[in-house]
Amino acid sequence: MATYLTVDLGGTKIATGFVTLDDAGQAAPVVEDLRSVPTEAPRGGDDILRRLAALVADRVRDRDGLAGVGIGSAGVVADGTIISSTDLIPGWTGQRVAETLAETTGLPVGMVNDVVAHGLGEAHHGAGRGHARVLSVGVGTGIGGAIIVDGRPVTGAHAVAGHIGHIAHGLGRGVRCSCGTLAGHIEPVASGTGLATLYNLMKDDAVAEVASGKDVSDLAAAGDAFATEVIARSARALGEALGGAVNLLDPDAVVVSGSVAGSGAPWWDALRAGFADGAMALTRTIPLLPGALGGAAPLVGAAVAAAQAVG
């Protein structure tokens, strides 16, 4: 058994916890002593890294015998450095996070992108366990993904492999994506934010606008036919995009998680229908599995990344 301090750093909060992994892989991970602080992203990357280092140093003092530190961070990660990030965290690009934390703690540090951490958690200890090739898809505020093969992430030539939210789909044409394109990505019409965008684009003038994807889900749960139609159209489009993705990648399983994936049976039914239409005959049998770890997945995955860094 080995215990790691783990970090999940996003645009809103920095979550930390201690995760104990069974070296033999028999026992479930133990996640404990969870704490979080605001990221305070507008203060910029230098300030965030300074506060992160202080937080990690304090947390390391809370626990003896740690094997290392694992971190999943927003942004594109390569060799422990943020090589690209959005304006969500100003000045985050270029931050040498793993090196700073290793110097601060004297411990080995494993660092991956936050969505990759989620995928590692699900592949090793969640719904993807037992599958050699896993495509992990997170559908929340945005849409992210990770490709895990034989337990390790496939990051690609530019460390961006798995960005499934930026696969093209006709439903998104003309809708601005978070990456800036209007060419038609799936994220701006199928994420949580995208549900609200699609609802407001599809509604007639007599219907009030919604502020969030949760508003759409709440309306559908209350029996609103139009909101139900929007959710089905959005989920079906995502399913078609996933069908194209498995035609390219041919994984053993697709694990789908995130807040939008909790929308219930109508969302899953539409997702699977779109997937069946988009996938070829041989890939149509690939299972779409709900994530099993919930909010613990990124911390569990960060621990896996730390264990892999240790060796």
Alpha-carbon torsion angle 139, 35, 55, 104, nearest 10: -80
Angle at 102 between CA 90 and CA 73, to 5 degrees: 35
In this structure, the answer to whether residues 145 and 269 fall within a common structural domain is: yes
Average pLDDT, the chain: 95
Between CA 233 and CA 197 the distance in angstroms is: 13
pLDDT for 68 equals 97
pLDDT for 139 equals 94
Range of the domain at 147: 130-291
Write out pLDDT tens, residues 24-38: 777 899 999 999 999
pLDDT for 310 equals 87
Write out pLDDT tens, residues 177-196: 988 999 999 999 999 999 99
pLDDT for 110 equals 97
Which residues of the chain carry a pLDDT beneath 50? Answer: none
Number of domains in the chain: 2
Q: How many angstroms separate the Cα of 167 from the Cα of each of 87, 115, 183, 185, 233?
A: 21, 16, 10, 5, 17
In this structure, the answer to whether residues 134 and 268 fall within a common structural domain is: yes
Strand, helix or coil at 140? coil
Write out pLDDT tens, residues 205-241: 989 999 999 999 999 999 999 999 999 999 999 999 9
In this structure, the answer to whether residues 164 and 263 fall within a common structural domain is: yes
Measured in residues, the chain has a length of 311
The residues, ordered by sequence, that sit 6+ positions from 256 with a Cβ below 8 Å of its Cβ are 137, 139, 242, 271, 288, 289, 290, 291
Candidates 241, 213, 206, 211; CA nearest to 227 is 213
pLDDT for 87 equals 80
In this structure, the answer to whether residues 278 and 205 fall within a common structural domain is: yes
In this structure, the answer to whether residues 36 and 55 fall within a common structural domain is: yes
Q: Residue 207 belongs to a domain with what CATH number?
A: 3.30.420.40
In this structure, the answer to whether residues 46 and 146 fall within a common structural domain is: no
In this structure, the answer to whether residues 58 and 139 fall within a common structural domain is: no
In this structure, the answer to whether residues 243 and 257 fall within a common structural domain is: yes
In this structure, the answer to whether residues 28 and 111 fall within a common structural domain is: yes
In this structure, the answer to whether residues 112 and 199 fall within a common structural domain is: no
In this structure, the answer to whether residues 239 and 208 fall within a common structural domain is: yes
In this structure, the answer to whether residues 47 and 93 fall within a common structural domain is: yes
